Amino acid sequence: MARINQFKTLALLALLSGLIVLAGYLLVGNEQGLYYGLGFAALSSFGSWYYSDRAALTAFKAKPTPRDAAPELYDRIAALSDRAGLPMPTLYLVPSESPNAFATGRDPNHAAIALTEGIIKLLPADELDAVIAHELTHVRNRDTLTQAVAGTLAGSLTYLGRILTLGALYLPMARVGRRGNNPIAILFLLVVAPLTAGVIRMAISRTREYAADAGAAEITENPLALVRALETLEATGQKIPIHGNPAFAPLFIVNPLTKEGLMTMFMTHPPTEDRIKRLKEMAEKRNTAEDASAALSPSA
């Protein structure tokens, strides 16, 4: 299943890059546009790879926290990192009462985990461990890089659409291939491509969240702790939504934005109810396996 999810993610990222290349062709109107699109996609991917951690942490005013400022929390993350086979990530605290958490960084050696002040106050130790394990799984699976690249590529398509809009209004940029204005190209760049990119990005995010939940259950050996954490975060987070750039919403363990109005159309996370159902199924399988093992072992 993990390999299937990775293949799906790579395929979706390739599709996003392909949309940018196609957008470059439509914007310029000839084969040269393909090279422009390819170069734009490559630069966007490199920028997101190198600067993703700083961008996300800055967007939510996260502050690095040394061990002496939060020794118990630091030791907890270190122990969970050791279980996950990862180096200790840098710990950041987000000055917000909204209970949430996210991981970022281009690879496990440059990873950071950010916890809001609200989640530290709200969750008991076992549930906080489950949340941290979820974020560590994102680091282990390199989801932090995947989400950053997907977000940047999706944003690039929107940017290209804006270029076309300005060109159509003020410059002869909207002319395509010396054949005059192409309404199909304009429609694609302004409407179809950004919407498609958004749907692809949401699909990537949802796939990775399920995998991170499973990883958290494996690391903590306690799927029900994450169930309780998700229930609490879902109920409380909507009452105290976090304020920040919505482009980074997929990084959080639960949707950090309000679900009112049109935001329900662009949810970046799978339904919490579905995640909880899957985790409960994992717990049942685990209990069944333990019962079977106990039944087969010789009695004392």
Q: Which residues are CB-neighbours of 25 under 8 A, at least 6 positions away?
A: 31, 33, 34, 37
Cα–Cα distance, 55 to 50 (Å, whole number) = 10
Can you say how many angstroms the Cα of residue 284 is from the centroid of all Cα atoms in its chain? 28
Choose the catalytic residue: 135, 209, 221, 234: 135
User: Is 135 labeled as catalytic in the residue annotation?
Assistant: yes
Buried-exposed string 234-273: b where 16+ CB fall within 10 A, e elsewhere: bebbbeebbebeebbbbbbbbbbbeeeeeeeeebbbbebe
CA distances from 76 to 10, 99, 164 (A): 33, 18, 50
Reported as type and span, the H/E element at residue 61 is none
Cα–Cα distance, 240 to 265 (Å, whole number) = 20
CA distances from 201 to 128, 131, 154, 196, 238 (A): 27, 22, 7, 9, 22
User: Token digits for 103?
Assistant: 């991981």
Cα–Cα distance, 206 to 39 (Å, whole number) = 28
Task: List, in sequence order, the alpha helices (H) in the chain.
Answer: 2-28, 31-59, 71-84, 117-122, 125-140, 143-170, 183-187, 193-220, 223-237, 272-296
Cα–Cα distance, 258 to 237 (Å, whole number) = 9
Query: What residues are labeled active site?
Result: 135
